Each structure stands twice: as structure tokens, then as C-alpha cells.
Amino acid sequence: MSILHNIYSRKKLKLSILKKNEHRITLSFYKYFNIRNPYIFRDMIYTSFVKLNIFGRVYIAKEGINAQINILHNKISCLKKFLNKINKKFKNIHINSGLNTKQSFWMLQVKVRKQIVSDGLLNKNFDHHDTGIYVQIKNVNQMLYDPNVVFIDMRNDYEFVIGHFEHAVHVPGSTFRDQLKGIVGFLKKYKEKTLVLYCTGGIRCEKATSWLKYHNFKNVYHIQGGILNYVNESQKNNFPIKFKGKNFVFDHRMSERVSKHILGKCKTCQIDCDDYINCRRDTCHDLFIQCTVCQIKYNKYCSINCKKFDTKHPVYSIVK
């Protein structure tokens, strides 16, 4: 019987990957479609991804699949063939490529969840398949300067801080669930405008545009493939890139540089900085921005209190 989970530690897997020095790329894709038995589907995905030497994080739910993976360049065509084979819904699926070649994942995790994107919505009459209209990448820059169009950032607070489209309106919230709770009231003053929503790869905007349409917002659009597709297609076609700063990503890299603009501030000294780290105190692990000078000075702690706590209670201090 096949082993359908990792049997090696993250540390051991990381060392193995670094030794091989393989040419890999980060890809992401999602698809909303009905999965009758997520657990059977999960095992099929896990088994096949192991054979393809894929690392990453994949969520499976009855509503579909959400995947961020790291794969060898020469295995991409095999991945596409596999996806087309297991379900016709994957035909012509849009797959985003990462903006750099840094290693993003060290192991493979495929998990079954209630939703592939947690939205907190309990309304049974809401149909998240009734989405907004896709904006083609070639039209994004033109719409940015249209006075009747408002760009809406559907990413979390900490994502928006280090990078966004100029003049974009950010829906406040530390999670997507928080944003959806208040989005209808927050965007009420823009109801007569044309709204263009965007996020990292597009998955959150599928639900967000549907939710707005359910509440009678008429002119609702979203960028096909999100920021990742916008930057990649703009580079391919020599379009000016209007996204400023960094694109936050939920993997080992934490962010991808898009432009030279530094939009964030060091939490400790307030100098311009957009480098995220996690607090060294294991019981804190807070995600925050800290410049290299302060990282040395405070030993990667988010505060004096955390540093003092680990000094007084060394048993809690785990060096990663």
C-alpha cells in the first residue's frame, strides 16, 4: 500500500533539495468545480504529485482545488497531461508562474478542507459561480487611468502594505473572511463606478466579485490570473508595469520583487523596508517587517519584550 504522507522531516527534505540544485519553478492554479469525494481525490493528487517530484501546498474541498507548487521545468508538460486526464474541468486551466526562481517549498502537503478559500459566508442562496467579468491584461493599464474605474485590492493588510497598484482602494482586513464581512458597506460609495478587483492569483476575486454581484453591484470585473498573470504577461509583451513594490506570496520566499519601490516600513525603526520575517520567539512567531540593521540589533525579535522573554526563559527559545 502506498504511503500517502511525508515520512521525512522538513529539515531533511530541505537539505536533500539544496544538494540536488535542480532547475525548478513555482506554479499556482485553482479551479472551482464539484468534487464528490475530496478524500479520494486528495489521495490521487498526492500519489501523482509524488511521482512527478512536486513540492508544495494543495487544498482540496468539495468546491474545488487550490494549489501552489514547485516543480521541475521538464515535468510541467506531464503535470498538464495529468490534470487533463483526471477531469475535463482542467482543460485550458490557467496556471500562473512565479516571478522568480527561488525555492518556494521543501515538501508536499495535500490537505482536505471545508473550502479552498475560507470565506465565512453562511448564505445558502449565494452562488459563487456567478463571477465578475475578466479584464484582459492588455486592458489593465488603460483602465487604471479611467476616472470611472476603481481598482479594489482584495488581499490582506500585510500583503497590501508592501505592494499594490497606485491609487488602489484596499478593503481592510487581516483575512479574506474579514474583508468579505465588510466589503459591501465599505464599497457602497463606489457602487455606481466600474470596479476592478485584484488579488495574487485570482482565486479570492472569484468569490469577492460574486458576493458583490449578489448584492446588486453591476459593473464588477477582476484581473484574470491576478497580479502574477499581470506582471508575467506585461513582461512578455513589453507593457509598462504599474504595480509597485513587492508581491506577497504564501511560501518560503514570502515575497517577489516587482518594482524598485519600497512601500513598507521597518516595525522597529520605521526606515523604508519591505522584508518580512517571523519573530524568533517561538510562542510569538509574529509576521512583521524588519530591516537588516534591526534584525542584527534585536536578533530577529519583533519587540524588546519578546527578546527579554526568551532571555529569561531559554527553554522556549528554539533556534530554527
Q: Where are the domains of the chain?
A: 10-112, 133-237, 276-316
DSSP state of 99: S
Selecting among 78, 199, 205, 291, the annotated active-site residue is 199
| 259 has pLDDT over 90 | yes
Q: What is the pLDDT of residue 271?
A: 98
Residue closest to 241 by CA, chosen among 147, 154, 159, 144 = 144
Q: What is the pLDDT of residue 23?
A: 80
Read off the pLDDT of residues 81-96 as tens digits, 9 standing for 90 and up: 999 998 888 888 999 9
Residue closest to 316 by CA, chosen among 306, 293, 36, 249 = 306
d(CA 265, CA 247): 16
For this structure, is 78 an active site residue? no
Q: What pTM did the predictor assign? A: 0.88
**Domain at 10-112: CATH code:** 3.30.70.100
CATH class of 133-237: alpha beta
Q: How many CB atoms lie within 10 A of CB 177?
A: 13
State the cell numbers at 149.
Answer: 474605474
Read off the pLDDT of residues 63-78 as tens digits, 9 standing for 90 and up: 999 999 999 999 999 9
Q: What is the pLDDT of residue 320?
A: 39
Q: CA 181 → CA 177, 235, 245, distances in Å?
A: 6, 35, 28
d(CA 215, CA 280): 44
Q: What are phi and psi of 285, to 5 degrees?
A: 60, 25
Residue 192 Cα to chain centre, angstroms: 29
- 3-class SS of residue 187: coil
pLDDT band for 218, please (50, 70, 90 cuts). very high
